[in-house]
Amino acid sequence: MKVAVFSAKPYDQASLGAVQCPLTWHYLEPKLDVETAKLAHGHQVVVAFVNDDLSAPVLAELKKAGVKMVALRCAGFNNLDLDAANALGIRVARVPAYSPEAVAEHAIALIMMLNRRLHRAYNRVRENNFSLDGLLGFNLHGKTAAVIGTGAIGLATARILAGFGCTLTGFDVKPNPAFSALGGQYLGFDQCIEGADIISLHCPLTPDTYHLINAQRLGAMKRGVMLINTSRGALLDTQAAIDALKSGQLGYLGLDVYEQEGDLFFEDLSNRIIPDDVFQRLLTFPNVVITGHQGYFTQEALSAIACTTVQNIEAFAKGGRSGNELTKA
């Protein structure tokens, strides 16, 4: 079976190629969109990633090209028009879980970097500046950490925070008994974020969670709160976050995702001018750390993603289901 892999980087080729299977891979560097969809001609399956466009027009082009399945090599599917896929008869499967610890550990890394100003300390020492002024942090022990979304990744994050001695609070529409077993206390969403010293977002992007963190909710948080987002960029109203940073209401911001990351992340733009004024404004704050959607990027996670992606495709090829298919609710 021929499979077209869009947004394929060398590490994607290495991880997928390491899985023993009868599939014929065709690696395509461009992102999937209406124009590049024609490159899928002659392939029964397309493998797509988080910033590939899987809107109705793109799916229609894939259908014309003969594509019968889309295999997402990620957990989130906010970039997919599932209704259109179902109407076109295109099967869709995802990787619902790969290495929750990978993203959780990255969230903690952002917390530690912001708290102890490691990004600033690193640059100072390289310039032979060993002054500690401006690098004062705080003990995580005893602080209240709110985990928004207590699925696999949120739970893994909570375990680490519990190890630091944090008081855990959480919010989820489907409470997880394992979070409560850690000593975590579920609260209403507003109560949860209003009482926290650190807030870490681990929920999917849906119409209900779009701009979940907005100006009003930022204003209701503790002054100087730390906010971490390793989930999806549009959970946070970026302009509202900038305003809160300017006023000092938001004390620390750690992002591994960004609302408009589709035009930025996963590419080397070091020799280009980035026209995104909002993103450029974020970079001016010394209490903001941004990474380029690398939370998932560990050897273990890439291997798990590749294995599950292959299993999803092979199940489809055999006329069966892997259990990871997306269907209309």
Phi-psi region of 319 (alpha: psi -120 to 50; beta: other; left: phi over 0): left
Clarify whether 124 is annotated catalytic.
no
Residue 251 has which token pair? Answer: 């004390």
Which residue in the list 232, 267, 314, 325 is annotated as catalytic? Answer: 232
Judge whether 261 counts as a catalytic residue.
Answer: yes
End-to-end CA distance of the chain: 29
Using DSSP's 3-state secondary structure scheme, residue 313 falls into helix
Those residues whose C-beta lies under 8 Å from the C-beta of residue 135, and which sit 6 or more positions away, are 116, 117, 120, 121
Residue 280 has which token pair?
């450029």
**Angle, CA 84 vertex, CA 311 and CA 302 arms, to 5°:** 30
Phi first, then psi, for residue 171 (nearest 5°) are: -140, 135
Compute φ and ψ for 145, nearest 5 degrees: -115, 125
Report how far residue 99's alpha carbon sits from residue 307's, in angstroms, rounded to the nearest whole number.
12
> What residue has token string 């969230």?
107
HEC letters along 66-87: CCCEEEECCCCCCCECHHHHHH
User: Strand locations in the chain, DSSP E?
Assistant: 2-5, 24-27, 45-48, 69-72, 91-93, 144-148, 167-171, 185-186, 198-201, 225-229, 250-255, 288-290
CB 312 within 8 A of CB 68: no
CA dist 245 to 143, 251, 302, Å? Answer: 21, 7, 34
Instruction: Read off the tokens for 180.
Output: 């409560």
Whether 293 is catalytic = yes
Please tell me which residue in 61, 73, 91, 261 is annotated as part of the active site: 261
Given the residues 293, 314, 321, 325, the one annotated as active site: 293
Q: Which residues are identified as catalytic?
A: 232, 261, 293
